[in-house]
Structure 1
Amino acid sequence: MNSSSGGHPILIRFGLFVFLPIIVLLLMSAWYIGQSLPKSTGESYVTGLTNSVKVSRDEDGIVYINAETNEDAYFALGYAHAQDRMWQLEFQRRIVQGRLSEVFGTDTVPYDAWMRTLGLDRAAKSSWEVLSPNAKASLTSYAAGINAWLEAKPQLPVEFEVLGITPEKWTEYDSLAWIKVFALNLSGNLSVELANSLSINKMSEEQRSQIYGDYPKGAPVTVSYLKQHSIDSLTALLQNNLNIEKNLKIGGKYVGSNAWVISGEHTANGAPLLANDPHLGLQLPSPWYVASLKGSTLNVTGMTLVGLPVVIFGRNEQVAWGGTNMMADTQDLYVEQLNPSNSSEYKYEGEWIQFETRTELVDVKAEFPESLRYPLEPVKVEVKTSVNGPIITGVNGAIDQPVALKWTALMPKDTSYESFFKANYAKNWDEFKHAFSFHVAPALNIVYADQDNNIAYIGIGKIPKRNHGNGQLPSPGWLESHQWKGFIPFEEMPSSLNPESGYLINANNKVADENYAYFISNDWAHPARAERIEQLIVEKIASGQKVDIDYTKRMHGDEIDISAVRLAKYLSGFKGETESQKDAIERLQNWSGNMAQDSIGATVFYMWVRNLREALFKDTFTSSWGEDEKQAILQSELELIEYGEVLTAIEQSPQDWCKPDGDCRSLILSSLDSATEQISKLVGGNSNDWQWGRLQKTTYEHSVFSRVNLLDIIFNREISNGGAPNTINVASGRFDKSEGFQQIFGASFRQIISMGKVEKRHLYMNSTGQSGNILSDHYDDMIKPFQEVKYFKLEKPSQTNHLLTLLPEINGGGKK
């Protein structure tokens, strides 16, 4: 008997009627969503073009735009951004407009309230008024390109389908507002000032000095203006900022960059060499989009920010440039004095003045299942503004002592976009420098190289001049003596042209010495990265060799942390009491500060110091803010404490920090025990398996689905990595007891440019991929080569299988 014919008819029928339809439905869904991949060949007729435009793509998805006019080139870039990053554009717009809660519900109301209070989209509209006609035309053309793609009613990326939303038309204001968010991302002084304010009355002067550095005279008097409920409100605001940093990838201590430029005098081919890698919160997709644009007079290549039509860092045929965060103090908090008889008035220069007020309504989506719940009432956000800026303590509820935020990016008539627009066309140093005289925010360090073998550096952005203090603590808003007194003149900003050394470096380190006439910041990054970059350049030159592109690649990938060496040497001098302690200390004794993936010494050092920081400082922070305060604030503040400050606390003030009796040896060894126990839980008890790359993973989180079970597995990406906060190949993040170190800050792209008179070489690597579409081959194809510090050439391929011609379509749908 043929057993196969007798089988299990019920199971077969069940499979046919249940599983087969599911499989067919999944296949059809995959096909349907697959239509969201960009059209990259053939012809497309679009409204808004003047002439035809060629948009070619290389094998990595990079677009090369060839247009007859500059405006058509910007149009095509907008079209390409929409093709590859439409969800990112929509998400960014909702961030800046404070409209996330329309899609994500109550969880994002605090973020929306914060953005509505700042009013970045309102500030963007005042920026539009002062732009040149050509700059306005670029924004209009870019917006038209995005909207032309939308008007074709393409299949939208899966995020739109899952969330059930449709993108609105893009406007010029949406682009200008995203510059404001870029500035917010690089303006960290608000969080520093908040943390200072919350700790100044709770620690001894010596303790504060060791952790935060020296404070200006009179600081405690300034902070005494704050009442306890104001401090509580500022604590809530700091927590909200930390959540925004974590979930929206905006802000953070390690938002910085590396950039250096070397004269042709020291390079192998005699051409100046420029290298750059901006450090931001890591996300998927990357905030950067690689592109080459050619128009009638425009010919620029490099890194565009999604949402903007210009190259932010890159080159044209004559000049190249890169940048870093200047770390300038461009944000101040002002405590306002209310009229006791009229809470709608505040005191300013001896007079009572009315607050400007407006009510913002935040629409909030009901919880799942939405169809079974009553619609939620819009959340009212009452926004008050003084002459000093928006009242930010009102974000967390009513308060009788307002605190205002003064920030250069909120000033009217901001021409920052104009600066990058003009820089794209610059032909020499004078034109380039003039372009950035228009820049307001964020404050940046710009390194420069040109085909005539000039190298240069200039600081850009409006930096306030202060009569009183240096912006580390809140000031009394009612006193004229504490107001800003203009800005550092552009002609007096730090700059250098063709220095005698033949190279220029910035890694968020201090940009001018004590002889400089103006205050810029107290929030510089640790100088270790800058020192290591200079060390590698000087070593190469001193050896009689020339710096070439391959050597520059190795510099980008360098993972020596010279800031760790002194503390590591000190700790490795202890004699262990147990076999586990002896083994760990022996691993550290031969360690050179290398934070490479295969380093065991790196694991021992980093975990030991993490536990040592907590043992030394946690009790002080907890008693300062109370046991019920959010752990994220505590951990964030602990991570600010550098290795040198840890060593100073142990050596110079053991009675203050080694509780209860000043016995640091016992505390240090118990911290080591905690460290080895944690390592063992994560990767096992055999120290031969304690490689740093097994504990540290780079995490690229999707903007939405990273916090949704199952979907996070599909949309997020993770890869082992080396590096540390103070290495050139930077890595910083958070510690999870079950996962280890999750790197969530790091280089967002790398770029190397050789600016020869005849030959120009341009290498790059984006951190994730060119596309934001999960179904694209270019969604994550750069993650592995980026981790391996590899590069692709940024040059238009001589032949391509991906050539799309955009053709103008006249009104009414006919072909032009």
Structure 2
Amino acid sequence: MSGGVDGEVRVSTDGKGVPTVHGPDRVAVARGLGWVTARDRLFQLDLFRRRATGRLAEVFGPGLLAHDTAQRTLGIRIAAERALRDLPPGQRALVEAYTRGVNERLATLPDLPVEFAVTGGAPEPWHPGDCTAVALLLAQMLGGDGAEHRMRAVMEAALPAGVVSFLLPEQGPYDVGIDGRPAPPPQPPDPALLATLAGIARDTRPDPGAAPVVGADESPFGSNAWAVSGRRTADGRAVLANDMHLPLTAPPLLYRVSLRYPGHEVDGLVVPGVPAVIAGSTGRIAWGATRLTADNARLVPLGDDEPLTVRTERIEVRGGEPVEVRVQESRFGPVYGPALLGRPVALRWRPLEPGGLDLGLADLAEAGTAEEACDVANRAAGPPLNIVVADAHGRVAWTVTGSFPGAARLPRLVDPPGGLVVVANNLTPQHAAAAHVAANGFSACRARRIVTLLETGAPLAEADLAAVQLDTDAGFFAFYRDLVRAAAGDAGDTPPALRDALDAVEAWDGTAGAGARGLGLLILLRENLRESLFAALLQPCRALDPRFRYTWFDHELPLRALLRSEPAVVPAPYRTRARFVLGQLELSAAMLRVAAGPATAPARVADVTWGALNRTGARHPLSPLLPDLAAMLDLPDAALPGCAESVHAAHTGFGPAMRLVASPGRPGDAILHLPGGQSGDPRHPNYADQFDDWLRGRPAPLLPGEPRDDVVLAHLQEAR
């Protein structure tokens, strides 16, 4: 690298607040990236490092004490400092340059952002270890804490082996491979097993006041990513599409940047605090990422003679006395969470261990081909992700990145004959080919729908892929509509109280569009049917462990098998499937009336639209503390199309945190959506100016526009 951090760095900003950072090399550009991120997102930077290291109670009070205690128990700050020490020299140079840029902006601020007036005091200087702490936070958000291992251990202790394997299937009804080819259909369940389950459900009396058993939909992170090769485009170009599903916040979780240094033009998105473009495009490649349900956490039962060390963490609490937390450490990791089957457990989470985390994904911006990008991803030890790539040679690829104990070789697929790679948080035969990489994936419903939409036979271009990102087909729920129809036919006379609910089911148009009627009722019906059935079958698990939760993400196969089995699997007090389904429909309709709100709810459930229930809900972290200012702090509360099982994946406060469609070397044709704006200042014109394009799916350019100002960091003076 030439020039170092002392080379001149220039930051220009367009009318949307999108910065272009020019420098003599990528280290110098990292300095500019830190500077401009602090300019636009200083409070968010501070919040991310506090969230990572367990220091939120200092500014938000005792309500965040449980969160801080968990983070201190994990020892995120300790692991972040170790990861920083172990970074290769090139990555360390990026982190130090980024830190310098943040602190240069902090030292020259004319005024602190308004948020600090509420939380009190000025932010501390940025530290290089804050970058690795935020990277660990991302790994934590996108990874797991061993919950599925806790669940499986209890189930294996409480249930027959056949029941366990039935409820924890390795396949689902929509499975497809990374190349889009349908997987072999799963085997139907054993009729004798279903008969046994019918008896268990009939004879079980779950506690109606108990907490829900099913916790499988509680981790709100996902994404779609796919790429089509030159075989599927008119001019031989490869095109990438990526939409990351994350909490919708004000400002957005991601930040747009363009980076320019000799031989490189990089346009994409970063997470404030981490000097790495996580999705973007260059002249050579375009890349995107989705969450990988990594198999990198273990719960290790500890014996009575296990040697433990103890450290004490002091947590400052705004408006209260400091709290001291006593953390026990084993040779495997911290003692974490409740006991498992009567034994304390240590969490062995790979990112906390030496070599478990680095910033190697920053090198993706310098990869020249699909293979080189896969090599970069496989070397990196960052958050667990699927990486999808398109290169300037018209080729596409998929692989995974992260740190996986016991994985000898990470899987990849380069330039498949069908010209497609696609992944939507589902696990595939390609994932399964590498042991100890991934487990407990989500339904392949979105991936299957993407494949269907791309099989047009016509050449594809950016606009076609962008249209797929906006698809709101919700055919997943047709099964439940048909279940209601069959139950109504079998039940004979329909009680008048159910006529409104049945009308709502018939009014559904098959989509998750904002104007769709009936979808909210079908979603609630599925959740209530699922909870009633699984609570009955998993009662022995609750008896063994009162905190037991069923956290298997893709449980649609056993759920549908139970709902159409003969003999019928029906929980008490119901005696027939028809009465069970209609009883849960009536309950769901009552819940929907409450959810719609008494002030605005239509007189009939059949008139409740999905957009009335599903809202953007992008809130500023301070708006709960300042309700009188919430209208200024929060982004517009609008009807949000899409649902968890549509390509346009969304639910209130959650959805596409970005949409990118790009072909390498063709940035002028690329599309990027951001749900908000670049600035973190609610008074700034760039606070929410990209929100409407994002909400309505209007094409917006990836490339920045004409600059409105320039800053030369070498002299720290502004030239307008």
| TM-based fold match above 0.5 | yes
- 1:382 aligns to what? 326
In structure 2, how many angstroms separate the alpha carbons of the residues matched to 1:165 and 1:292? Answer: 32
Contact 1:189-1:331 at 8 Å conserved across structures: yes
- 1:510 aligns to what? 427
In structure 2, how many angstroms separate the alpha carbons of the residues matched to 1:171 and 1:157? Answer: 19
**Letter matched to residue 762 of structure 1:** A
In structure 1, how many angstroms separate the alpha carbons of the residues matched to 2:533 and 2:28? Answer: 60
Q: CA deviation at 1:583?
A: 5.0
**1:385–1:678 CA distance, 2 compared to 1 (3 A):** closer
Contact 1:755-1:761 at 8 Å conserved across structures: no
Residue of 694, 702, 725 corresponding to 2:620: 702
Return 5+ residue gaps in structure 1 as ranges.
Answer: 1-47, 216-237, 246-250, 340-345, 347-353, 368-375, 465-486, 733-742
Contact 2:361-2:382 at 8 Å conserved across structures: no
- 1:586-665 alignment runs, 5 A limit: 586-589=503-506, 591=508, 593-618=510-535, 625=542, 642-652=555-565, 657-665=570-578
**Letter matched to residue 281 of structure 2:** R
Matched, 1:552 2:508: no
In structure 1, how many angstroms separate the alpha carbons of the residues matched to 2:554 and 2:426? Answer: 17
TM-score, normalisation: structure 1? 0.75
In structure 2, how many angstroms separate the alpha carbons of the residues matched to 1:147 and 1:119? Answer: 25
What's the secondary structure of 1:424's corresponding residue? helix
- 1:262-277 alignment runs, 5 A limit: 262-277=228-243
**Letter matched to residue 56 of structure 2:** L
What per-residue deviation string (whole Å, max 9, x for no partner) do you get for residues 454-478 of structure 1? 21111222323xxxxxxxxxxxxxx
What's the secondary structure of 1:791's corresponding residue? coil
Q: CA deviation at 1:616?
A: 3.7
More displaced 10-residue stretch of structure 1: 272-281 or 799-808: 799-808
- 1:125-274 alignment runs, 5 A limit: 125-188=81-144, 190-197=146-153, 201=157, 208-209=164-165, 211-213=167-169, 252-274=218-240
**1:744–1:657 CA distance, 2 compared to 1 (3 A):** farther
In structure 2, how many angstroms separate the alpha carbons of the residues matched to 1:519 and 1:806? Answer: 46
**Comparing both chains, which one has the higher relative contact order based on Cα–Cα distances under 8 Å and sequence gaps of 6 or more?**
2
In structure 1, how many angstroms separate the alpha carbons of the residues matched to 2:480 and 2:537? Answer: 22
- 1:534 aligns to what? 451
Q: CA deviation at 1:209?
A: 4.9
Q: CA deviation at 1:126?
A: 2.0
In structure 1, how many angstroms separate the alpha carbons of the residues matched to 2:389 and 2:711? Answer: 34
Q: CA deviation at 1:688?
A: 5.7
In structure 2, how many angstroms separate the alpha carbons of the residues matched to 1:532 and 1:338? Answer: 51
Q: CA deviation at 1:707?
A: 5.3
- 2:633 aligns to what? 715
- 1:416-495 alignment runs, 5 A limit: 416-417=358-359, 419-464=360-405, 487-489=406-408, 492-495=409-412
- 1:774 aligns to what? 682
Residue of 694, 707, 720 corresponding to 1:800: 707
More displaced 10-residue stretch of structure 1: 587-596 or 666-675: 587-596
Matched, 1:791 2:699: yes
More strand by share: 1
How many residues in Structure 1 have an aligned counterpart in Structure 2?
664
- 1:350 aligns to what? none
**1:518–1:678 CA distance, 2 compared to 1 (3 A):** closer
Matched, 1:524 2:441: yes
More displaced 10-residue stretch of structure 1: 170-179 or 188-197: 188-197
CA RMSD of aligned residues (A): 3.3
Contact 2:411-2:430 at 8 Å conserved across structures: no
- 1:292 aligns to what? 258
**Letter matched to residue 622 of structure 2:** V
In structure 1, how many angstroms separate the alpha carbons of the residues matched to 2:326 and 2:551? Answer: 34
Contact 2:661-2:671 at 8 Å conserved across structures: yes
Matched, 1:729 2:648: yes
**1:515–1:411 CA distance, 2 compared to 1 (3 A):** closer
In structure 1, how many angstroms separate the alpha carbons of the residues matched to 2:640 and 2:244? Answer: 18
Q: CA deviation at 1:337?
A: 0.3
What's the secondary structure of 2:110's corresponding residue? coil
Contact 2:503-2:606 at 8 Å conserved across structures: no
Q: CA deviation at 1:58?
A: 2.0
Name which one, 1 or 2, has greater alpha-carbon Rg.
1
What's the secondary structure of 1:684's corresponding residue? coil
**1:775–1:202 CA distance, 2 compared to 1 (3 A):** farther
What's the secondary structure of 1:95's corresponding residue? helix
**Letter matched to residue 690 of structure 1:** V
What per-residue deviation string (whole Å, max 9, x for no partner) do you get for residues 203-254 of structure 1? 6666655544489xxxxxxxxxxxxxxxxxxxxxx99xx9xx9xxxxx9434
Contact 1:82-1:89 at 8 Å conserved across structures: yes
**Letter matched to residue 618 of structure 2:** Y
In structure 1, how many angstroms separate the alpha carbons of the residues matched to 2:344 and 2:655? Answer: 36
**1:705–1:589 CA distance, 2 compared to 1 (3 A):** closer
In structure 1, how many angstroms separate the alpha carbons of the residues matched to 2:674 and 2:296? Answer: 29
**1:365–1:592 CA distance, 2 compared to 1 (3 A):** closer
**1:525–1:759 CA distance, 2 compared to 1 (3 A):** closer
- 2:657 aligns to what? 748
**1:304–1:127 CA distance, 2 compared to 1 (3 A):** same
What per-residue deviation string (whole Å, max 9, x for no partner) do you get for residues 23-65 of structure 1? xxxxxxxxxxxxxxxxxxxxxxxxx963443322222211111
Matched, 1:566 2:473: no
Contact 1:188-1:253 at 8 Å conserved across structures: no
Identity rate, percent: 26
What's the secondary structure of 2:399's corresponding residue? strand
In structure 2, how many angstroms separate the alpha carbons of the residues matched to 1:460 and 1:65? Answer: 27
What per-residue deviation string (whole Å, max 9, x for no partner) do you get for residues 75-119 of structure 1? 111111111111111111112222222223322222112111111
**1:422–1:513 CA distance, 2 compared to 1 (3 A):** closer
Contact 1:580-1:676 at 8 Å conserved across structures: no
